[in-house]
Amino acid sequence: MIKYLIHRPVAVTMILIALVVIGIVGIKNIPVSLMPDIDIPQITVQESMPGCSAQEMEKRVIAPLRGQLAQVSGVKSISSDSRMDVGNILLKFEPGANIDMLFIEVNEKIDMAMGNMPKDVVRPKVIKASASDIPAFFLNVYFRGEPSGHDASAKFAQLSDFARNVVCRRLEQLPSTAMVDMSGLTTSEIQCVPDADKLAALGITVEELQRALAENDIRLSALTVADGIYQYNVHFDSQILTVDDVRNVYINHEGRMLQLKDLCKIEEHPAIRRNIVRHNGKNCVTLCIIKQNDAQMDELKSEVDNVIADLEKTYPDLEFDITRDQTELLSYSINNLEWNLLAAAFFTLLVLLFFMRKWRLAMLVALSIPLSLLITLLAFKLLGISLNIISLSGLILGVGMIVDNSIIVIDNILQKLHGGNTLAEAICQGTAEVFTPMLSSVLTTCSVFVPLIFIGGMTGALFYDQSMGIAIALFASLAVSMIVLPVYFKVLYQKVHKRKLEKGEALVADDEKNVTKTNLAILRWYEKTQSWMFAHLRLCLFLFLLSAPGLVVMFLISEKRQMPEVSYTDAIMYVDWNAGISVQENDRRISQVLEHCKKGVEATTSMVGTQDFLLFHTQDITSSEALVYFKCESVDEFLQAKKRLQSYVAEAYPDASVSFSPSGNLFDMIFSSGEPDLRLKLQDAGGHRPTVSQAMAFTDSLRQHFPDVMVPPVVTEENLQLVADVEQMTIYGISYAQLCDRLRQISGTNEALRINQGAGSVPVVIGSSKADRESILSSSIDAKDGVSIPLSLLLKERMVYDYKHLYGSEGGEYQPVDIQASGKEVRRILDFVSQYEAQHDDVRIVASGDYFSSRQMIMGLVWILVVALLLLYFILAAQFESMIQPAIILSEIVLDVFCVLLILWLLGMSIDIMSMTGVIVMAGIVINDSILKIDTINHHRREGKPLMEAIERAGHERLMPIIMTSLTTIFSLLPFMSRGSIGADMQFPLSLAILIGMVIGTLVSIFFVPILYYSIYRKKTDKTKN
């Protein structure tokens, strides 16, 4: 086929042009996203029961559900959290699981469990985690010029209505917007405070007022009335719509008509705030903008920017500020990787020009880069693979390997020309001769990805796109080097060849002159080093053997974790004050903390109290908890601000617990384990939750033994529990319903009805909202005979001190102690835990966390490396028809991996999923040079040359191609040596591992592989001679 194509350059060119046009048209519509399109392996079950304590929630609902859901197939872990009013169960599965089918199974298990729960329990909500749950960005709306820390006013209630009825609707009308979620709104309520003296004088009860309101708020459907041949729809509406309608409600008491305003003081005022949201210290309404699944991020951002510009022009007294912008993160990461791709291609071209010194040959080799990338992107479009930080990194890694095949083909053609062949013969023979080893090297490189793709889980989900990118690029490069390059080589050198022949010169005469001082210096260095190594053969083999135990030692002492550390400039701080404080006090404390730690902080958004969000993108918190988003200008300032915040809270409020988490993006949602480095699950001797005193005794002992480790306090709460005296209630003839109604009236939660106003509603409440503990107990209730009975006679109070959160898992209920520590500290803590358990028979401690899961994952990757090496061995054995030569080639991987782990350890880096994957990928790449070298040695031996001469000739022939192909791969990885974005930070350990392996592997291929080959086959040759 090559002999045919080299005489058809026009046909080949037309086919290439057609392919380029199709590729350009096709890749324009490739979707761009931050991460690959995979299901998020989480399902959350949520139950809400207002007024239910944490103990009731755990016992009545969460525990039965947890036991039933533990039977769901494929569940990786199950954890539950019960607290006042709310209970959550989180089920985690392996990435790549069929979440749609699991969602159905979870619902079936819940239906089965509902039959064993109380009848008043509402069916729990089942939420399937989705990438669309992450807001594209948050929009904060607040008054321009308002001082920081200012309390909300009636004017802010107008801002809440404006945000709900104008801003929200404008944004939801955009084609790219799925919905807008809001929080920080101030609502109104109509409060009816009865005049107790008037009601007592007239003999009117509060229940009569409630009935009057209910009877006057009538909504009837239309009535149909027939009148001869005509039919009419009659509407009857007596609906209460305004506060004046409430005031004018009539009450018929013993024939006397009274209005509600005569008996109550009726006012509309802002309701007590359940939450407060501040942006840079100012009261604000925050809106979370959720994009449509099929919408592009940049389109949504452009549409929102236009709406904001119009609103700012129309309402100059308002400010609109966007935070947590996912489009900014996406654009920065993708643009960074795109520049890395261009830089890799540029560095590769420099290497070609430096070594080849012929711009024609360099440009011919460089032609393979855009052609191979275009074919790869076209394959992405056909396979439905998006451009994301994983697939782009695969393309960048492939750039250095793309030109390897072209370099080898051109170098072999030039050698054939030097041997006296004609141009056509040199092209055909030179190309065909290297096809088999090149195909073998491509297969070996791709074979290491096969286990990564098919193992599933996080590794398979993460590296499918990357593996496909590299594999497609390599096969495209092989096709280009075997089909396109020979054709254009003949086109470029046909005239030159003809002119040289007419003058009686050889085409490669200039190439002989091209042996520069650099090439000669490399050649001399190679010969001296090779001669020294052959002279010290046993010493070299001994040093190689030492690398095997060294590899084991480095693996054991290296730090291990799941994912590499990613640089952030923003985060969310979670604070639990561990005290029963109000929302207002919570807001004051947070403002105080941020005021003392504002240095280096660019923007902050604080959320205190129970938020109004409908979706589950933001953590649920109570009145004594807070979330603070803060953003800094640089990573260093972020780390300093984080340290200042943590130390100030610990100093000013020692009972509070503080934790930090990423601000929320698709990468963290998919791949973050959500676990601390070490989680100690405390149980009593019977396997149940320990007492508060037992948990506190353990944490105090832990702090005493490890003062440098941050040990969080045990989170508890103190609640006032009112217990009804049944005997006294029976004596005075008061029912539970009457007592509950009276308590609701006193506390201001006795809602009579709700008035719809636009998208919201205003509650009408009978009673005062300024009740405290003393006023409740000093109030009274009317018995049947009209006698006022003090509530203190009917209620007994007691303070209940217990856990604020009740945790559980598939292993039962427990109390967690979460610790962030290094691997060395974790091992020390585990030793202490073993001693503590031996000394305390009443406590059982189960350890889990990222420390264990990371080691489990790393060991899984080690087995993948073993499987990949076996695949490589099988492929090489089939190629060389030998059981020994594949072992010679693969032996260099031991030394390469040892050097990689050693340098990572010296740099203070951990072994994680990315660095281990780099080792696996490196194993497939680094042996390509050895494959070609041993293939060349075998070729010369088949021609009858002695062993040593065959090794020397192969070393000289393959020296420069090996150096060139290695340098192109190494230089293509250099752009990854910078950090600063999620894409760069993720790829840094992988690229560094490959870079180290390539440098060491190149030296091993040049010097060590010939020694090992000689050591084995010298003995075989001697035996044959004997």
Question: What are the tens digits of pLDDT across the range 544-589?
Answer: 889 889 999 999 888 888 778 777 888 899 999 888 788 889 999 9
Residue 669 located in a structural domain: no
Domain enclosing residue 89, as ranges: 42-129
Residue 521 located in a structural domain: yes
My answer on whether 183 and 194 are in the same domain is: no
My answer on whether 524 and 487 are in the same domain is: yes
CA gap 818, 702 in Å, rounded = 12
My answer on whether 924 and 1003 are in the same domain is: yes
What is the structure's pLDDT at 220?
A: 57
Best-predicted range by mean pLDDT (320-334, 432-446, 626-640) = 626-640
Q: Residues in the chain, how many?
A: 1026
Best-predicted range by mean pLDDT (78-92, 260-274, 972-986) = 78-92
Strand stretches in 542-584, DSSP E: 570-576
Residue 759 located in a structural domain: no
Last residue of a domain, one of 296, 323, 350: 323
Question: In which residue are the tokens 């089918």 written?
Answer: 101
Task: Give the mean pLDDT of 637-645.
Answer: 90
Last residue of a domain, one of 268, 287, 306: 268
Residue 901 located in a structural domain: yes
| pLDDT tops 70 at residue 961 | yes
| pLDDT tops 70 at residue 330 | no
My answer on whether 413 and 442 are in the same domain is: yes
What is the structure's pLDDT at 307?
A: 93
Whether 781 contacts 789, CB under 8 Å:
yes
In DSSP terms, 809 is beta-bridged to 79, 812
My answer on whether 825 and 734 are in the same domain is: no
* Alpha helix stretches (DSSP H) within 28-87: 54-57, 63-69
Secondary structure tally for the chain: helices H, strands E: 38, 32
My answer on whether 351 and 218 are in the same domain is: no
Neighbours of 959 (CB within 10 A): 18
Whole-model pTM: value is 0.74
> Per the structure block, which two tokens stand in for 761?
């509603």
Task: Give the mean pLDDT of 246-274.
Answer: 83
What is the structure's pLDDT at 908?
A: 86
List, in order, residues 6 or more apart from 373 with CB less than 8 Å away. 395, 399, 402, 473
CA gap 926, 318 in Å, rounded = 60
CA gap 366, 378 in Å, rounded = 19
Classify the C-alpha dihedral 21-22-25-29 as positive or negative.
Answer: negative
Best-predicted range by mean pLDDT (118-122, 382-386, 893-897, 916-920) = 893-897
My answer on whether 875 and 942 are in the same domain is: yes
Least reliable range by pLDDT among 312-316, 374-378, 489-493, 515-519? 515-519
My answer on whether 26 and 175 are in the same domain is: no
What is the structure's pLDDT at 1023?
A: 53
Give the count of domains, the chain: 7
Who has greater pLDDT, 557 or 334? 557
Which among 335, 364, 333 has a CA at the least distance from the CA of 566? 333
Task: Give the mean pLDDT of 944-967.
Answer: 84
pLDDT digits (tens, 9 = 90+) for 373-424: 888 888 888 888 877 777 777 777 777 677 777 878 887 888 787 777 777 8
For residue 510, what pLDDT band results from cuts at 50, 70 and 90?
very low
Which among 114, 37, 98, 105 has a CA at the least distance from the CA of 71? 105
DSSP 969: H
- Write the CATH number for 648: 3.30.70.1430
My answer on whether 479 and 610 are in the same domain is: no
My answer on whether 88 and 111 are in the same domain is: yes
Name residue 652's amino acid: A
- Write the CATH number for 142: 3.30.70.1320
Who has greater pLDDT, 827 or 454? 827
Residue 668 located in a structural domain: no
Residue 820 located in a structural domain: yes
What is the structure's pLDDT at 13?
A: 86
CA gap 911, 674 in Å, rounded = 19
My answer on whether 111 and 7 are in the same domain is: no
What is the structure's pLDDT at 509?
A: 46
Name residue 127's amino acid: I
Residue 836 located in a structural domain: yes
Residue 712 located in a structural domain: no
My answer on whether 530 and 382 are in the same domain is: yes
